[in-house]
Structure 1
Amino acid sequence: MKLTLRHALFAAATLVAPMAAQAEFLSIGSCPVGCTAYTWSAGIADVINKNVEGIEVTAEETKGYVANINLLQDGEIEASMATSLSSYEAWAATGPYEGSEPGKILSWMSIAPVGMHIIALEGGPINSVEDLKGKRVGMGQPGGVSMLDANALMGMVAGEDFEAFRVRLGDMIDMLSDGNIDAALWNGSFPLPPVIKLSAQRDVKLIPISDAFYADLNAKYPPYFRLSIPGGTYEDVAGDTPTYGLANGLVISADVSEERVYEMTKAIFESLDDLAGVHPAFGRVSKDTVLNGFGAPLHPGALKYYRQIGVAGIEEFVARTSR
């Protein structure tokens, strides 16, 4: 396993003070600073550190969800944000993870769906999905799952007839504001903080996905499901915006102990009101939503807690994911 700076510092600490109590270190992979997943990870890390003894959790800035799965498989982080599609494929060693070791990455906690945002400015050239053809389009950074979703969308819309800018969300929003791109694509949990910031400075619009376009997309990519970004999520967008997305949440290495995962799951669930102050998505997490979208089995520590609090459908979920 590659020795990260965090592991190196921990090893050094054990040599300097062998008699001192040693905290267990755990990293949660997220995305670049400014993205929703980083905000979530930082909030979760803070809650665990305050409520679980003997552990030190950090939110790690990464290139995104695709990179997170690779870091988990390599043992460089212990937990991460991921979509339900990528986490299932990694657990089953199928799709892009074919040939890897199966069973290493387990489900932990569904947080909120990610929704495809097609972000443009009022008065600009983008008024429909079809208008993206031939335009300058922000696609998300390499290593992030949002870029893969953008690739799928633009492949359906324009083939190769567009100019792609593969940069992080914050940079895309700056480029859109400055007129250097015509639209920014991002599949993320709403609200997106950089878009909130942009809407305070410029007149923002979200481009809707028509039923016909979604039907064609879903026929080619079945994991996507229909959803809407509610009106009022962003200051300038009063009405609901029909789009599509994926389930989104926490996954964790099978190597983390059952008791430790149980303690962390309990701490998170008992702090959802506090976490809702960090990001509104936590206000929608409940016993009824915590399994949403997952196809890989639960970590035994999470399963123990969910059984204890009586999560509806838990035994059916266990039966379905144990096959």
Structure 2
Amino acid sequence: MKKRLFFVLTSVLVLLLAACGGTSSSGGGGNKQQFLTIATASSGGTYYPIGVGMGNLWTQELQDEGIKATGQSSAGSVENIDLLRNGEAQLAIFQGLIGAQAISGSGNFEGNAYEDLRSISMLWPNVEHFLLMNNKVKTGTISDIDGTTFSVGPQASGTEQSTLIMMEGVNLTKDNIKPEYLGYDDTVSAMRDGRLDGGSAPGGIPVAAIMDMYASGVDATVLEVSDEQLEDINSIYNTWYRFAIPAGTYPGQEKEIKTIAQPNFLGVTKELDEDTVYKLTKTLYENLEFMYGVHDAAKDMTLESALDGLPAPLHVGAYKYFKEQGLEIPENLIPEEAK
């Protein structure tokens, strides 16, 4: 409630400043000031510094255009949808699965679709790691968790939600396993002690707990995801894409691991005007070195991966920029506004 109140007060302040300030005198152009709030997540995670970094970049580079952007903490992806919907934020960072649920009106948003959600860009990948003790491995794919004691992640977490969707894609439910609800470090510790067969630990590579798993000699592996399994998972929510964990990412890992990832992506309300979003997108991709200095996760941002796994159509302003850059835009990402 405190965070929601903060957003409300921030929005009121923005409106007052816009009303009182009128125009910007910078550059003598009389540009109207535009204040943009970027909803992120808790200040201890990755979303917050990335959002603050983007806000600083846009404010610095677009000050002559009258644009000022600020990253603000929130409760994360689910709340960020509400903040966009209510006009309390103009942009936000989301987990791909939450964006897919919001646009389709399912999962957390059953019967309450947010059809005005638009994508700007994939930011960095959330790489799926299904861990399993080697004595339980049969095919080497995620189907092998059938019949095991397996941690699906803390209850009500994003990890649990994405893990259950992946399981559904390979015709498994909690009834097929003995579920546990552990964090990453506790999962690896329980595997090491023989109390657990495996667990799900998605994250940007390398994941610290999995580094520990390999380094400490736990006789376990990261399971792969076949092309057929990827297709079946995306038939439920089309937000995952192929990702290969390079050999040597983890201690003693001699071969690449063919898994999948979902995007952490930058979303926006379609009401934000085309010109503004075009400028934001262009500025972001013309200053990637700035973002690389903000956080290690940002180093995965490239023009080539900008459209990977996006669950919602592009904003027409971002669509315009990516078309200019020669990217091939998948049909499902072309916004109605551009057709």
TM-score w.r.t. length of structure 2: 0.69
Rounded to whole Å, the distance in 1 between the matches of 2:107 and 2:320 is 30
Is residue 217 of structure 2 the alignment partner of residue 186 of structure 1?
A: no
Q: 1:274 to 1:217 in 2, by over 3 A?
A: closer
Alignment of structure 1 residues 45-194 onto 2, 5 Å: 45-53=55-63, 54-63=67-76, 65-83=77-95, 86-88=98-100, 90-91=102-103, 93=105, 97=109, 99-100=111-112, 102-119=114-131, 129=142, 130=144, 133-135=147-149, 137-140=151-154, 142=156, 144=158, 146-154=159-167, 156-157=171-172, 159-160=174-175, 161-165=177-181, 172-176=183-187, 178-179=189-190, 182=196, 183-192=198-207, 194=208
Rounded to whole Å, the distance in 2 between the matches of 1:210 and 1:18 is 53
Rounded to whole Å, the distance in 2 between the matches of 1:313 and 1:81 is 23
CA contact (8 A) 1:115 1:190 kept: yes
Aligned partner of 1:259: which letter?
D
Deviations 1:68-110 (A, max 9, x none): 4344334443323335565355345467645435531112112
2:28 alignment partner in structure 1: none
1:7 alignment partner in structure 2: 8
Rounded to whole Å, the distance in 1 between the matches of 2:311 and 2:81 is 15
- 2:232 aligns to what SS in structure 1? helix
Rounded to whole Å, the distance in 1 between the matches of 2:305 and 2:247 is 22
Larger radius of gyration: 2
Rounded to whole Å, the distance in 2 between the matches of 1:77 and 1:188 is 26
Unpaired runs of at least 5, structure 1: none
Cα distance, 1:230 vs structure 2: 1.6
Is residue 328 of structure 2 the alignment partner of residue 313 of structure 1?
A: yes
Rounded to whole Å, the distance in 2 between the matches of 1:14 and 1:61 is 20
Rounded to whole Å, the distance in 2 between the matches of 1:199 and 1:61 is 32
- 1:292 aligns to what SS in structure 2? coil
CA contact (8 A) 2:40 2:92 kept: yes
Q: 1:55 to 1:313 in 2, by over 3 A?
A: same
Moved more, 51-60 or 5-14: 5-14
Q: 1:266 to 1:176 in 2, by over 3 A?
A: same
CA contact (8 A) 2:131 2:199 kept: yes
Rounded to whole Å, the distance in 2 between the matches of 1:83 and 1:12 is 28
Rounded to whole Å, the distance in 2 between the matches of 1:200 and 1:61 is 34
Rounded to whole Å, the distance in 2 between the matches of 1:94 and 1:174 is 31
Rounded to whole Å, the distance in 2 between the matches of 1:86 and 1:16 is 32
Rounded to whole Å, the distance in 1 between the matches of 2:156 and 2:43 is 11
Aligned partner of 1:149: which letter?
S
Is residue 222 of structure 2 the alignment partner of residue 207 of structure 1?
A: yes
Moved more, 249-258 or 96-105: 96-105
The equivalent position to 1:249 in structure 2, one of 261, 265, 268, is 265
Unpaired runs of at least 5, structure 2: 25-32
Q: 1:293 to 1:163 in 2, by over 3 A?
A: closer
CA contact (8 A) 1:132 1:157 kept: yes
Q: How many residues align?
A: 306
TM-score w.r.t. length of structure 1: 0.72
Cα distance, 1:276 vs structure 2: 2.8
The equivalent position to 2:319 in structure 1, one of 296, 299, 303, is 303
The equivalent position to 1:270 in structure 2, one of 283, 286, 306, is 286
Q: 1:131 to 1:18 in 2, by over 3 A?
A: closer
Rounded to whole Å, the distance in 2 between the matches of 1:141 and 1:61 is 19
Cα distance, 1:187 vs structure 2: 3.4
